[in-house]
Chains A and B, each alone.
Chain A
């Protein structure tokens, strides 16, 4: 699904400053879109407008034929198409067992019992949890496991757009690598539109196709990851960390006047180094 923000503005109740300040942007379908920016720049607010959790005061969001704007009250069908994995799993977990937690949305959308069971088990399997977890209390699990449950809950109802708010915080290496695989699979095999909000630039660099930089309630720049991460001045201006692999390539160019190719994978970088160091 294609997502278009059309000049949206939003102010939180009681606040005297707009959080989103006349923002227009375009997120690409069947792609991994990343939204990056400083703490408090409005990232979480922005993504919550995509499924109508936050309605802009002015402007609208178009998600294919769906609209999020003032005056529209019913977002049930939209939310069936746009799934959101929240930053803190505690914000979305409220059932007493993992089974009920994952099944809750399926009940809401009237899934048949046999279908429901299949969807729950498939979703659990995808995040790498086994059947034993079904009867556990999600809030008694470790932070990483809670996050897996939160992700499984969204995967279970198979939305076309999946939003991940800081998906890798608190995940160990194995779980993180597994999540990266899942996200790639969701895009490549299931043709989902993925939106990721993250501080982890190495993750964004490795994973995303298209990047938007949000600063002070506005999208200040968007482009391919190559365009974004090779623009040193841009990264500096918005305090965005340079991905390690690019930091290395830059250092080699600066100190040794050797231009390695632009790479997002360490094994490709390795080949470049080998060719140039012989």
Chain B
């Protein structure tokens, strides 16, 4: 499998605090990666460096393009939703924001309308199109930024604690849309504090204090449960239950699927 993001010897300090010291990491293409870790572990900083928003030492390549030398191109390739959606919409209306992005891609009016309609229907946001960002609720703002990020059809979609603002219905719609993008070849990077969401994707990466502690498929990741515990990471309900049941001798491995676990307990 090939890597879509390559990070070589990355070092970065914020004010007097060293965030990364010679970090090396390769993120695989066309996978759904969940990034977890405590507040302040460097997750959001890493996103801003991948986008070229801050200068750093070392090298970050996105699809083999050097980020600091091709910032404009990188921002076309990556769609991102940050955890403070307030600062991400610049137009007075959600509708204008979407049109602006599509116009910048040089599309015709009919193409613009078609692409807009697709994203609006997929996210169910017709109601908020003509509203000002300041009149939107927290979850609605998040959907507006998601629409603006996804409408340009980026190769890489990065969500920085963005799904947490959504209710169950909306979240499921967004996950469905992201899974379709994944099937079509996109790479998804979901940074989250909701550990249950790590079971949606393919791989999990645990960061702590600017270092990558574990990066594995979700099936293998939770086998390192002793190590995970050291980093104060919550376990998904089903994993936690499997591990506890192992002590009682009722299971002998970690389950990620609830029905499989129930069938194992009551064989």
Contacts and interface: CB of A to CB of B under 8 A. Distances in A.
B39 A172 contact: yes
Interface residues of B, number: 45
Interface in A83-108: 87-88, 90
Contacts of A117: none
Interface in B32-90: 37-40, 44, 83-84, 86
Interface string B234-258: 1001101100110010100000001
B262 A252 contact: yes
A241 B168 contact: yes
Q: Is the interface of B mostly helix, strand, loop or mixed?
A: helix
A219 B137 CA distance: 18
B39 A39 contact: no
A187 interface: no
Contacts of B83: 143, 169-170
Q: Is the interface of A mostly helix, strand, loop or mixed?
A: helix
B39 A255 contact: no
Given A172-B232, A255-B262, A270 B241 contact: yes
Name the interface size band of chain A.
35 or more
Contacts of A241: 168
A143 B196 contact: no
A44 B238 CA distance: 32
B112 interface: no
Interface in B158-173: 161, 164-170
B250 A145 contact: no
Contacts of A200: 194
Nearest to B244: A270
A166 interface: yes
Given A144-B39, A144-B40, A172-B193, A247 B258 contact: yes
Contacts of B175: none
A270 B247 CA distance: 11
B40 A142 contact: yes
B105 interface: no
Contact of A170 (B161, B238, B262, B266): B161
Nearest to A45: B137
Contact of A166 (B15, B138, B259, B265): B138
B233 interface: yes
B10 interface: no
